[in-house]
Amino acid sequence: MLRFFIRRALLAVLTLFAISVSTFLLFFAVPANPVATMCGNRICPESTQKQITHDLGLDQPLITQYTEYMKGVFVGRTIGSGPTAKECPAPCLGYSFRTGQPVWDIIKNGLPVSMSIVIGAAVVWLTIGLVLGTAAALRRGGALDKFSVGFSLGGASMQIFVLGPILVAVFVYGLGWLPRPTYTSPLVNPLAWATGLILPWVTLGAINSALYTRLSRAQMLETLSEDYVRTARAKGLTRREVNYRHALRAAITPIVTIAGLDIGINLGGVVITETTFNLQGVGRYAVQAINDLNLPIVMATVLLAATFIVVANVVVDMLYATIDPRVKLS
Amino acid sequence: MGGTTSMWADGQMPSADLDPGPVQVADAKPAEAKAIVGRSPGQLALMRLRRDRTAVVSFWVLVFFILVAVLAPVIQWIYGYNATTTNSALLDDSGFPLGYLGGITFSTDNASHHIHVFGVEPTLGRDLFMQVVWGMQTSLKIAVTATVVSTILGVVVGIVSAYFGGWVDAVISWIIDYMLAFPFFLFCLAVIPVINTRLAAPGGCHCDVSPDKRVLTIIIVFSLFGWMYTARLVRGQVLSLREREYVDAARAAGAPARHILFRQLLPNLWAPILVSFSLAVPATITAEAALSFLNIGVIEPTPDLGRVINTGAQFIVGLPDPMYLVIPGIVIFILVLAFNLFGDAMRDALDPRSTR
């Protein structure tokens, strides 16, 4: 077991290394002229271009640039030299070209917003998905089952950026029941935090719950036809005990696994949700940076997301191996 | 798939009298029963599909949408109005459409002397109906091309990986896993401007990338990052198929690897490939619309559903003109739903275990 964990972790580190190299190459080596790219359609004076080139270290070999960048991430570094040198403590991800703000500060600003959206939406989609899917499987062919099938098909075809504005139109501007979606720190005002984020949660949650309704319905149906469920029923357990203590428990494990592995797909959903509702999370910063060609922010957010996905995958793998006795490690 | 002329092109087959026909199992279940008409799995699947009401309806909806997209120029000619004509006379002083429901009108008694069945765009006064028609063309063009390319890529990689096994398989599998670890959507977002600057003038200014090149960029990115699921699926299928007798037989007969891979194995893979293809198209439509919604994919003046929705979302605030978002939103919902329903129906129909 320990050997599996170590090997899995090493592989993850290797993957992360490969991702960091390819992301770096893509953003700093592929553009014909990264500096002009960063200047965008504005005309940069020669001196500014020289300054940016030097600040980025683009006048140095690629390997040096990469090792400098990675060094900055782990131990911090000094960007540039001479009077314009900036001290950048770890984790140093560079500076924004627009505002001169450290990228790490920008990410720190956005992270609570993004995390609030993901966690709240995940609660919504896992609850709806598991409850509706299980209930549908227990009464197969019934009205609820038909509804759940329709719901999962409709939800899977709905777009966040269509449903979101429609919900805002109805609940904020039409009925006036909710304030415009905003982020308030839960530490300052938990109620404002919840009411401000309820529409993003419902939007992202409802659309994602379509998939989980379908999955948990299929999983539950499969589990209910297992021999051990029949055995449990035959030995005289009540329906409730069989359904919830035997079947549901076994059916939930793979769904939680998939939820963990799907985190990458959901990150895309968060980006769209933040843009739809005008919330300043990491995803929205990333989109703005992409439109601005602010490469240090783009690079940092892609790296962050990739790290997040790889770590989540490792954790899920390890949890799965620990929880499910049927998983054979080889 | 019966053509015997080119398949032994490598010249390894000694004579032409070895007809490869019997080895192929694409049309499995030969008509053994005398009285009963033998049907190939393909025919059976088609029969099941025809009997499935959802499949039939979604199929015709798709045909309708595809026709609209393909015939967009004809529709424009019949409708007699294009997607780019702006007309501020159709708007009130604050830039919102005159009349009701976003300026929907079936009479010609207005400033443009033309009907506007879906209404007009706020601030610019362009006709929404034609924007949706042309937007559908953009969406479907990108989604279908990218999915075809990525499916072909995935099939070739999957077959090669599984058939050769060993280090080839190990390397390809690692690449697949590695690419799946990328945050696909975020990565697409980030890569597109980078590629656009490459395609643009060497000066590196992304502003002068032509709209056509932007569409091309999106197709390239979706193709390059969309093949992994198909490759994984095909690899799994081939791993189980390559141990079958007919593959052994073909190998014993001296058939070259290319023949075994693409003539013997591929015909047996078309069912899962078709299903994954038909479910990948709506996913790509969604992703493309999302990109354009984020202002990174298709931009003005190329008509696109995601871009229209992005514009429309601005007019939700205070509810001056929700129709400009709702109508394209409904269109894209029906389009994606029809694809999803048809893909689902196809999966059911092609599943040999399902007997209905």
Long-range contacts of B25-34 (CB under 8 A, 24+ apart): B25/B246, B25/B267, B25/B268, B26/B1, B26/B267, B26/B268
Whether residues B189 and A271 touch (CB distance < 8 A) is answered with yes
For residue A293, the chain B residue with the least C-alpha distance is: B193
Band of the pLDDT at B153, cuts 50, 70, 90? Answer: very high
pLDDT-wise least confident of A48-52, A162-166, B133-137, B289-293: A48-52
Burial of B287 (0-12, 13-18, 19+ CB in 10 A): buried
Total domains present in chain B: 1
A260 touches B: beta carbon within 8 Å: no
Average pLDDT over residues A187-204: 87
Q: Give the pair of three-digit tokens for residue B294.
A: 């984020």
Q: Which of B178, B187, B332 sits opposite A302 (nearest CB)?
A: B187
Q: Which residue in the block uniquely carries the two structure tokens 């029969």?
A: B47
Of A31, A162, A290, the CB nearest to B309: A162
Report residue B1's pLDDT band, with 50, 70 and 90 as the boundaries. Answer: very low
CB-CB neighbors (< 8 A) of B332 in chain A: 159, 162
A56 or A317: which carries more pLDDT confidence? A317
Which pLDDT value is given to residue A42?
Answer: 56
Does the residue B94 lie in any domain?
Answer: no
| Tokens at A234, concatenated | 């035959």
What is the share, in percent, of chain B residues with pLDDT greater than 70? 77
DSSP A142: S
The encoded tokens of residue B273 equal: 């490939």
d(CA A55, CA A32): 18
Residue position matching structure tokens 């919840």: A194
The residues spanned by each domain of chain A are 35-92, 107-329
Say what the alpha-carbon torsion angle A103, A105, A109, A110 is, to the nearest 10 degrees: 20
pLDDT at residue B4 greater than cutoff 50 = no
What is the distance between the alpha carbons of residues A212 and A137, in angstroms, rounded to a whole number? 13
pLDDT at B124: 72
Gyration radius (Cα) of chain A, Å = 24
**Do residues A218 and A198 touch, judged by C-beta distance below 8 A?**
no
Separation between Cα atoms, residue A65 and residue B137, nearest integer Å: 44
Whether residue B178 is predicted with pLDDT greater than 90 in this model: the reply is no
Q: What are B228-237's pLDDT values in tens digits?
A: 888 988 888 8
Question: Would the pLDDT of B334 be above 80?
Answer: yes
Residue B108 lies in a domain: no
Q: How far apart are CA B11 and CA B3, in angstroms?
A: 16
Q: Residue type at A42? A: R
**How many contacts does A have with B, using Cβ atoms within 8 A?**
157
Residue B6: its pLDDT value, please? 41
Q: Which two tokens stand for residue B223?
A: 């193709």
Contacts of A286 in chain B (CB under 8 A): 186, 189-190
Q: How many CA atoms lie within 13 A of B268 on its CB side?
A: 22
Residue B331 domain-assigned? Answer: yes
Q: Are residues B185 and A267, on separate chains, in Cβ contact within 8 Å?
A: yes
Subunit contact B317:A173, Cβ cutoff 8 A: yes
Instruction: Give the pLDDT score at A142.
Output: 81
Amino acid at B336: V
Distance set, CA A31 to CA A43, A98, A291, B203, B226 (Å): 17, 19, 15, 10, 23
Establish if B251 belongs to a structural domain.
yes
The confidence score (pLDDT) of residue B28 equals 46
Q: In this predicted model, what pLDDT tens digit does every residue of A298-318 receive, in sequence order?
A: 888 888 888 888 888 788 777
Residue B355 pLDDT = 45
Structure-model confidence comparison of residues B348 and A106, the more confident one: A106
| List of E strands, A49-186 | 77-79, 86-88
**A159 touches B333 (CB < 8 A):** yes
Best CA proximity match to A27, nearest among A311, A303, A306:
A303
Fill in the DSSP letter of residue B3: -
Looking at residue B356, its pLDDT comes to: 39
| Chain centre distance of CA A187 | 22
Q: Which of B189, B203, B317 sits opposite A290 (nearest CB)?
A: B189
Give the other-Cβ count within 10 Å of B219's Cβ: 22
The answer to whether A76 touches A89, Cβ cutoff 8 Å, is yes
Q: Which residue range(s) make up the domain with B138? A: 44-85+127-355
Q: Between these two residues, A58 and A121, which has the higher pLDDT value?
A: A121
Give me the CATH number covering residue B213.
1.10.3720.10
Alpha-carbon distance of B222 to B194, in angstroms, equals 14
Q: What is the pLDDT of residues A155-192, one digit of tens each?
A: 888 888 889 888 888 888 888 888 888 888 888 888 88
Do the beta carbons of residue A183 and residue A280 sit within 8 Å?
A: yes
Q: Does B15 fall in a domain?
A: no
Q: Please give the backbone phi and psi of residue A293, each rounded to the nearest 5 degrees, phi first.
A: 55, 45
Spatial separation of the C-alpha atoms in residues B319 and A175, rounded to whole Å: 11
Query: Side-chain half-sphere of B101: how many Cα atoms within 13 Å?
Result: 9
Q: Is the pLDDT of residue B320 over 80?
A: no
Superfamily of domain A107-329: MetI-like (1.10.3720.10)
**Res B183 pLDDT > 80:** no
Put simply, the answer to whether A267 touches B294 (Cβ < 8 Å) is: no
CA distance B67 to B209: 30
pLDDT at residue B148 in the model: 94
**Position B112 pLDDT exceeds 80:** no
Comparing C-alpha atoms, which of B59, B6, B10, B46 is closest to residue B271? B46
Question: What tokens does A96 get?
Answer: 């924004």
Q: Do A173 and B296 touch (CB under 8 A)?
A: no
The residue with greater pLDDT, A258 or B345, is B345
pLDDT digits (tens, 9 = 90+) for A264-297: 667 788 888 998 888 888 888 888 888 777 778 8
Structural domain includes residue B31: no
State whether residue A53 sits within 8 Å of chain B by CB. Answer: no
Please provide the average confidence, as pLDDT, over all residues in chain B: 77
For residue B178, the chain A residues in CB contact (below 8 A) are 15, 18-19
- Find all residues with CB under 8 Å of A239, minimum gap 6, and list them: A233
Q: Is the pLDDT of residue A60 over 80?
A: no
What is the residue-wise DSSP string for B75-100? HHHHHT--SS---GGGB-TTS-BSSS
